[in-house]
């Protein structure tokens, strides 16, 4: 699946023995690095499909002497393979990875979504911020590769949500996919990745909420255009 322009850079094993992969291109001397992440939540598989289709396309291009990318592009096709295997939002420990980051507001019950401390909730934030294998893999990736931009692929709200200094980038994505730009997803998300990477680390961070009511194949063209602009 991984073409000549991309290779596996690092992996880890999950609780159920599934593999999480970080895949990147072979560009050198890049001035900007972007990271694209699929399947934070196991019941939102669209990101994995789109990333894998893009990598297949890049593999075909590599056989026709395509130029080395101007920028570094990294992919984690599936951050939560255990959740995807189990058909659930959370990982195998029942933790919502998007509430498990070691932010200043981790574990704080807020508003109508006051469930992050309830281990029976689909929004459970874990025993501590960063407690999960999947979360640590992503934290380690950010610390090692220091991406300038991060795009996470979710569903189903059809919005371009941004955290940190990413409004201009969000507006560019909005023009491609025709979703509105939202600075807030509309409910509290203590321990979220957007807060961790965008607000606290000031990395340009986009949460792209995809339409789950249409066949995922209809999202290929806009997704590829978004990915291409990161190269």
- Give residue-wise pLDDT tens across range 100-110: 999 999 977 65
Question: Which ranges constitute the DSSP H helices of the chain?
Answer: 46-62, 81-86, 133-145, 167-177, 193, 220-228
pLDDT at 109: 64
pLDDT band at 112 (very low <50, low <70, confident <90, very high): very low
Give tens-digit pLDDT for 172-225: 999 999 999 998 776 678 999 999 999 999 999 999 999 999 999 999 999 999
Q: How far apart are CA 54 and CA 49, in angstroms?
A: 9
**Tell me, what's the pLDDT at 62?**
42
Long-range interactions of 109-115: CB distance < 8 A, separation 24+: 109/190, 110/188, 110/190, 111/187, 111/188, 112/187, 112/188, 113/187, 113/188, 113/189
pLDDT at 11: 98
194 vs 68, which has greater pLDDT?
A: 194
Mean pLDDT over each residue of the chain, to the nearest integer: 89
Look at the domain 6-228 and name its fold.
Aminopeptidase (3.40.630)
Per-residue pLDDT band for 63 (boundaries 50, 70, 90) equals very low
Burial 178-203 (b: 16+ CB within 10 A, else e): ebebbeebeebbbbbbbbbbbbbbeb
pLDDT higher than 60, residue 53: yes
The mean per-residue pLDDT over the stretch 42-67 comes to: 78
Ramachandran angles phi, psi of 182, nearest 5°: -130, 130
The whole-number pLDDT of residue 129 equals 96
Whether pLDDT at 79 is above 50:
yes
Does residue 95 have a pLDDT over 90? yes
Domain coordinates in residue numbering, the chain? 6-228
Is pLDDT above 70 for 65?
no
Torsion sign, CA atoms 137, 138, 139, 140: positive
pLDDT band at 68 (very low <50, low <70, confident <90, very high): very low
- Contact partners, residue 168, CB within 8 Å, separation at least 6: none
For 180, residues 6+ apart whose C-beta sits below 8 A from its C-beta are 158, 159, 160, 174
Q: What is the largest CA-CA distance in the chain?
A: 54
Residue 26: per-residue pLDDT: 59
Is the pLDDT assigned to residue 61 strictly greater than 90?
A: no
Cα–Cα distance measured from residue 90 to residue 124, given in angstroms and rounded to the nearest whole number: 8
What's the rounded Cα separation, in Å, for the pair 40 and 78?
A: 7
Give me the percent of the chain exceeding a pLDDT of 90: 76
What mean pLDDT is predicted for residues 33-56?
A: 97
What 3-state DSSP class applies to 116? Answer: coil
Kindly indicate the confidence band of residue 155, based on its pLDDT and cuts at 50, 70 and 90. Answer: very high
């Amino acid at each position: 699946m991984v073409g000549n322009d991309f290779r596996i850079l690092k992996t880890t094993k999950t609780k159920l023995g599934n593999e999480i992969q970080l895949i990147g291109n072979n560009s050198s001397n890049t001035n900007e690095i972007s990271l694209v992440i699929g399947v934070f939540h196991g019941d939102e598989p669209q990101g994995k499909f789109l990333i894998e289709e893009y990598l297949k396309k890049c593999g075909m291009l590599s056989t026709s002497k395509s130029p080395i990318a101007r920028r570094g592009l990294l992919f984690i096709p599936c951050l939560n393979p255990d959740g995807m295997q189990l058909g659930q939002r959370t990982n195998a420990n029942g933790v919502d990875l998007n509430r498990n980051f070691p932010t200043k507001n981790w574990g704080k019950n807020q508003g109508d979504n006051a469930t992050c401390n309830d281990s029976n909730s689909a929004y459970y934030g874990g025993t501590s911020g960063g407690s999960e294998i999947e979360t640590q893999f992503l934290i380690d990736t950010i610390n090692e590769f220091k991406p300038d931009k991060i795009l996470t692929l979710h569903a189903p709200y059809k919005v371009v949500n941004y955290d940190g200094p990413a409004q201009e980038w969000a507006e560019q994505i909005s023009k491609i996919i025709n979703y509105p730009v939202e600075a807030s997803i509309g409910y509290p998300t203590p321990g979220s990745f957007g807060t961790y990477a965008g607000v606290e680390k000031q990395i340009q961070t986009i949460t792209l909420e995809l339409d789950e009511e249409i066949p995922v194949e209809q999202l290929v063209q806009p997704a590829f255009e978004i990915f291409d602009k990161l190269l």
